[in-house]
Homo-oligomer: A and B are copies of this chain.
Amino acid sequence: MKKHNFYAGPSILPEFTKEKTAEAALNFAGTGLSVMEVSHRSKEFVAVMDEAVALVKELLKVPEGYSVLFLQGGASTQFLMAPYNLLDKKAAYLNTGAWSKKAIKEAKFLGEVVEVASSADTVYNYIPKGYEVPSDVSYFHYTSNNTIYGTQIPTPEVDVPLVADMSSDIFSRPIDVSKYDLIYAGAQKNLGPSGATLVIVKDAALGKVERPIPTMLDYTTHIKAESMFNTPSTLPVFACLQTLIWLKENGGVEAMEQKNIEKAKILYDEIDRNKMFQGTVLAKEDRSLMNVTFIMTPEYAEFEKEFMDFATAKGMLGIKGHRSVGGFRASIYNAMPVESIQALVDAMQEFEKMK
């Protein structure tokens, strides 16, 4: 039976990425060795790192004066590195979910945090608007897409440098990198397997804090060493490169955005039409194109488990909602084919007819 991979992360990757990585696990770049057993300083692997960095710059139109790094430790490590390197005395954070909260917690180790707004009171089912960002902060931090709650944020218009956790929507749409001091993203949604973390940092934003920074937490360490201060996560970086190649061959982030809008519409339209289901996000403009969260309508609430079993039997994987929200979550990242979304919509329609 065809499986439909709706996991929130690690999550669906292009066939191209999987095939090339499986090949390289046995024979990498004609070396006769696995990509896992070749020195990161070999010319073959250095070429992988260089091409990955160049493609990130090309696809996201990264301006001059920014460094692109592949690190380890996920966004969770960036929650600490970002303030360590950039927070002088005070920073502003927008609290739109569990990941924002974790970022705020770590920033408080380093200085004062102004939480400019929060939607915690309603389990983060909307994106706060109309908040004020103090002008005397080092930066304004936000989470661009909230996997758990199914919300997404366009680039905020504020007068201070931006820092964003884009783990779950990077490469899903164009972004104006010049507005950011720092963008970071765990790879395991639109980029590759877990174990690699993408960092895009403005060089001129560094060196402004007084505190000493431990070597591995200092962006300048990794910039100087071109992501090879310590051994990078070689196979995950190789896999990320394959996805970047696939992205370019498929029209880049502009084409992805169009496809993502079309794909998400199919599912949201069904959620809005089907009498048994409803979305969890209050305002339609806050709905994520990456993670579609929905629950049974109150009159059909008793059928939640039955639909879960029904959909699972039809090959849907990973559609259980996060325990803090309940219901369902369909993660439909770049690599998700429209056929899988249609399969879920078909299951929803079939289930409705049965009742």
Contact = CB atoms under 8 A, between A and B. Distances in A.
Interface of A: 3, 5, 7-13, 17-19, 21-23, 25-26, 31-40, 42, 72-77, 79-80, 102, 105-106, 109, 186, 188, 192-196, 212, 214-217, 229-236, 239, 317-318
Contacts of A317: 31, 33
Given A72-B72, A73-B77, A102 B215 contact: yes
Given A19-B26, A214-B109, A7 B192 contact: no
Contact of A215 (B11, B80, B231, B236): B80
List the number of copies, as a whole number: 2
Given A3-B32, A33-B5, A192-B36, A233 B236 contact: yes
Given A25-B21, A74-B72, A195-B233, A34 B13 contact: yes
B231 A36 contact: no
Main secondary structure on chain A at its contact with chain B? loop
Contacts of A231: 9-10, 74, 186, 188, 194
A7 B37 contact: yes
Residue among A106, A230, A231 having the largest count of chain B Cβ atoms under 10 Å: A231
A37 B25 contact: no
6 contacts: A10-B37, A13-B37, A76-B215, A77-B230, A194-B234, A195-B234
